[in-house]
């Protein structure tokens, strides 16, 4: 796991770029070593977090002929079998790293090399013979990659936006459509970023640049759920999925450093721990997060699973007294705003796990979006039935009292009604996001369109035969790839910690994509197949638990330790968001008339980013 950066020009002009400065801005992603390679057309470099071939590994590194140079952020889980295959055909290796295997694979099979890789990665590959650069992002978007081209024609890329923003040639002009998408969805989807002219490489795509220009292509197409359904019974499917899951977990347990496990007490992380416990010769080391606010606390469930599996378990508590410190650390690292309410808790969890001496943990991310875990998937069929009564329901939910509980009934009812009359994908975004589309126009100083990414993926999702399956596909492409995985990457890499999720193995995803609806939902029960698969492996109470979600008690915090930050929020956002709108939200929330937790948290994070080191008001 690493942070990578590079600068290239293909017109023969000299480069006026300090690559070491770009790498220093993201040094926390790989604190073990920094390495830069210089070529005819530019530089590429990496900060290394040493996990594979700890002592002898190098990044960037070339194949034995020095034609292909690779800088890799991530892990190639099948590098061992690939190394054996390449060695049998005469390949010679200098190190035991996965990065060198990628370089040699490109030398031998440049057209099919990407398809052979099993892992999470963002990487740069420079072909010194053809003099062209290839940037690649993994299939699911687990590792990020940003790029831009300056006015003088210099091409820059980096693992985080901050790696680009340290260069004076890179302007900080706000992309207002991206801003409106942030307000709607709590994240900004690729290929956009918060700044005009700077792009995120989309998951499953590759960018090629040489003297003739830039070309972006999709190298992996995600399966559309329900299009090619497997007709086997749920029992037989669960056996097949458990077998594939076993392979996926085993791949992610390979490391030269000790492993930890993030255990929430929910079905997904418990499944990972159950499989790993079967395969591990020593007790697993597991970690969970606890809160004093009961509706958010899952630590007792995590402890129940830990006891059942015999793990060496640590329950961490995130007290509100730590919140200001965590927010300040987040602000220093936040080169692009991300307003997921679980971000501070994830940040704190990763910090504490890293402080415990670990570099690698396994998590349960990705199961909900591929096995039908969210209650919203049921709600789409209910929304269709509720459409004729939309006007009446709108009046009813306005009168419901505010609550600070996690996913209170009043909050869920208001959100449900707000999305009822929208198309499936847009409705899904409204149910999951912060601000309603009707609010955004009155907040900002110019007209914007927050729907581009949603509508693009909705068009592809429409091939799925049911509303719930369409919503699931959109969640895979947007909520998971652009929200959850961005949050996990930023929170973990800020502390030099690698998070691996077995549910995001692409072969496992292909299998999940062929599951029939009966394997996902039965009545109001979600994850039918997963519950079947885990029978006898986890306590019955855990198998029957409804979806909880990794939340934080934002409503209570915004009335308590964060309340002082709201007093000057309209001033902090002046010129970006209309002050009268901000003041009304603060007043309604603080008096208890409305629960504006997600709206105010979004604005609070936006203000911290705007006035932080990577915001538009900061200077180089």
Tell me the per-residue pLDDT of 455-493, one tens digit each, with 9 for 90 and over: 999 999 999 999 999 999 999 999 999 999 999 999 999
Sign of CA dihedral 270, 276, 279, 285: negative
Helix, strand, or coil here: 165? helix
- Which of the residue ranges 45-59, 192-206, 496-510 would you say has the lowest mean pLDDT? 45-59
Could you report the per-residue pLDDT of 314-367, keeping only the tens digit for each?
999 988 888 889 999 999 999 999 999 999 999 999 999 999 999 999 999 999
- Six-digit token string for 62: 């070339």
At residue 620, does pLDDT exceed 60? no
pLDDT at 62 (0 to 100): 95
The stretches of 283-322 forming alpha helices (DSSP H) are 299-309
- Six-digit token string for 58: 């190098």
At residue 203, does pLDDT exceed 90? yes
Please say whether the beta carbons of 606 and 573 come within 8 A.
yes
In Å, the largest CA–CA distance within the chain is 74
Helix, strand, or coil here: 73? strand
Confidence of residue 54 (pLDDT cuts 50, 70, 90): low
Tell me the residue ranges of DSSP E strands in 308-456: 312-317, 360-362
d(CA 314, CA 287): 5
Neighbours of 12 (CB within 10 A): 8
d(CA 257, CA 254): 9
At residue 418, does pLDDT exceed 80? no
String of DSSP letters for 323-360: HHHHHHHHHHH-SS----TTHHHHHHHHHHHHHTT-SE
Give how far the C-alpha of residue 240 lies from the chain's centroid of Cα atoms, to the nearest Å.
Answer: 27
CATH class of 234-371+485-543: alpha beta
- Six-digit token string for 223: 């399966």
pTM over 0.85: yes
- Which of the residue ranges 48-52, 129-133, 170-174, 481-485 would you say has the lowest mean pLDDT? 48-52
Q: What share of the chain is helix, strand, coil (3-state, %, to 5)?
A: 45, 15, 40
Q: Label the pairing between strands 285-290 and 259-262.
A: parallel
Stretch(es) of the chain classified as CATH 3.60.20.10 = 2-218
Sign of CA dihedral 351, 356, 361, 366: negative
Q: What percent of the chain has pLDDT over 90?
A: 71
- Which of the residue ranges 142-151, 153-162, 230-239 would you say has the lowest mean pLDDT? 230-239
Stretch(es) of the chain classified as CATH 3.40.50.620 = 234-371+485-543
pLDDT at 83 (0 to 100): 95
Helix, strand, or coil here: 101? helix
pLDDT at 320 (0 to 100): 85
Q: What are phi and psi of 369, to 5 degrees?
A: -75, -15
Residue 545: DSSP 8-state: P
d(CA 569, CA 84): 58
Could you report the per-residue pLDDT of 86-133, keeping only the tens digit for each?
999 999 898 999 999 999 999 999 999 999 999 999 999 999 999 999
Q: Which uninterrupted H or E stretch holds 120?
A: strand 119-127
**What's the whole-number average pLDDT of the chain?**
90
Q: What percent of the chain has pLDDT over 70?
A: 92
Average pLDDT over residues 512-535: 91
* Of 422 and 84, more confident: 84
pLDDT at 524 (0 to 100): 82
pLDDT at 421 (0 to 100): 79
List, in sequence order, every residue forming a beta bridge with 3; answer none if it has no partner: 47
Assigned CATH for 2-218: 3.60.20.10
Q: What are phi and psi of 61, to 5 degrees?
A: -150, 155
- Which of the residue ranges 283-292, 361-370, 457-466, 539-548 would you say has the lowest mean pLDDT? 539-548
Kindly give, in sequence order, each residue whose CB lies less than 8 Å from that of residue 398, ignoring residues fewer than 6 positions away: none
Closest CA to 316 of 362, 285, 340: 285
Please say whether the beta carbons of 65 and 107 come within 8 A.
yes
Average pLDDT over residues 209-232: 93
Average pLDDT over residues 159-171: 95
343 half-sphere exposure, CB direction, 13 A CA radius = 26
User: Using alpha carbons only, what angle is made at residue 291 by residues 286 and 296, rounded to the nearest 5 degrees?
Assistant: 100
* Of 389 and 575, more confident: 575
CA dihedral in degrees (468, 473, 474, 476; nearest 10)? 120
């Amino acid at each position: 796991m690493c942070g990578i950066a590079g600068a290239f020009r293909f017109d023969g002009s000299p480069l006026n770029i300090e690559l070491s400065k770009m790498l220093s801005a993201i040094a926390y992603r790989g604190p073990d070593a920094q390495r830069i390679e210089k070529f005819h057309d530019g530089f590429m470099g990496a900060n290394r977090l040493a996990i594979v071939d700890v002592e002898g590994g190098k990044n960037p590194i070339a194949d034995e002929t020095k034609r292909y140079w690779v800088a890799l952020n991530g892990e190639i889980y099948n590098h061992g079998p690939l190394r054996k295959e390449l060695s049998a055909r005469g390949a010679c290796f200098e190190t035991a790293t996965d990065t060198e295997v990628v370089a040699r694979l490109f030398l031998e099979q440049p057209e099919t090399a990407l398809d052979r890789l099993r892992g999470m990665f963002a990487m740069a590959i420079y072909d010194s013979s053809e003099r062209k650069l290839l940037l690649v992002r993994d299939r699911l978007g687990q590792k990020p990659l940003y790029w831009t081209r300056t006015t003088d024609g210099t091409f820059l890329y980096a693992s985080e936006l901050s790696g680009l923003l340290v260069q004076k040639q890179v302007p900080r002009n706000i992309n207002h459509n991206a801003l409106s998408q942030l307000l709607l969805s709590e994240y900004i989807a690729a290929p956009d970023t918060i700044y005009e002219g700077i792009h995120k490489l989309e998951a499953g795509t590759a960018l090629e640049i040489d003297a003739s220009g830039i070309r972006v292509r999709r190298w992996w197409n995600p399966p559309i759920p329900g299009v090619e359904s497997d007709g086997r019974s749920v029992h037989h499917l669960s056996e097949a999925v458990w077998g594939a899951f076993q392979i996926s977990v085993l791949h992610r347990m390979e490391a030269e450093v000790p492993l930890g496990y993030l255990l929430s007490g929910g079905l997904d992380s418990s499944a990972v721990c159950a499989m790993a416990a079967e395969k591990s010769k020593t007790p697993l080391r597991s970690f969970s997060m606890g809160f004093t606010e009961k509706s958010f606390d899952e630590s007792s469930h995590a402890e129940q699973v830990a006891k059942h599996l015999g793990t060496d378990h640590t329950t961490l508590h995130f007290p509100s007294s730590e919140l200001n410190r965590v927010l300040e650390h987040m602000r220093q690292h936040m080169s692009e705003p991300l307003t997921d309410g679980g971000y501070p808790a994830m940040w704190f969890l990763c910090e504490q796990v890293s402080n415990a001496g670990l570099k690698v943990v396994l998590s349960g991310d990705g199961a909900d979006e591929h096995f039908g875990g969210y209650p919203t998937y049921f709600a789409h069929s209910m929304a269709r039935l509720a459409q004729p009564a939309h006007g009446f329901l709108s009046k009813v939910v306005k009168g419901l009292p505010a609550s600070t509980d996690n996913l209170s009934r009043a909050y869920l009812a208001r959100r449900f009604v707000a999305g009822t009359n929208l198309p499936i994908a847009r409705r899904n975004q409204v149910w999951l996001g912060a601000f309603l589309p009707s609010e955004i126009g009155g907040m900002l100083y110019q007209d914007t369109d927050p729907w581009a990414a949603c509508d693009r993926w909705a068009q592809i999702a429409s091939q799925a035969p049911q509303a719930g399956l369409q919503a699931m596909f959109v969640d895979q492409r947007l909520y998971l790839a652009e929200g959850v995985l961005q949050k996990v990457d930023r929170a973990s890499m800020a502390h030099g910690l690698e998070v691996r999720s077995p549910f995001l193995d692409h072969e496992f995803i292909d299998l999940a994509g062929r599951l029939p609806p009966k394997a996902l939902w039965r009545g109001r029960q979600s994850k039918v197949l997963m519950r079947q698969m885990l029978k006898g492996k986890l306590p019955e109470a855990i198998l029957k638990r409804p979806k909880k979600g990794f939340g934080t008690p934002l409503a209570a915090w915004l009335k308590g330790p964060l309340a002082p930050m709201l007093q000057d929020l309209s001033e902090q956002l002046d010129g970006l968001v209309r002050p009268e709108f901000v003041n009304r939200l603060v007043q309604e929330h603080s008096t208890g008339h409305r629960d504006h937790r997600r709206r105010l948290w979004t604005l609070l994070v936006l203000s911290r980013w705007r006035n932080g080191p990577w915001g538009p008001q900061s200077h180089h």
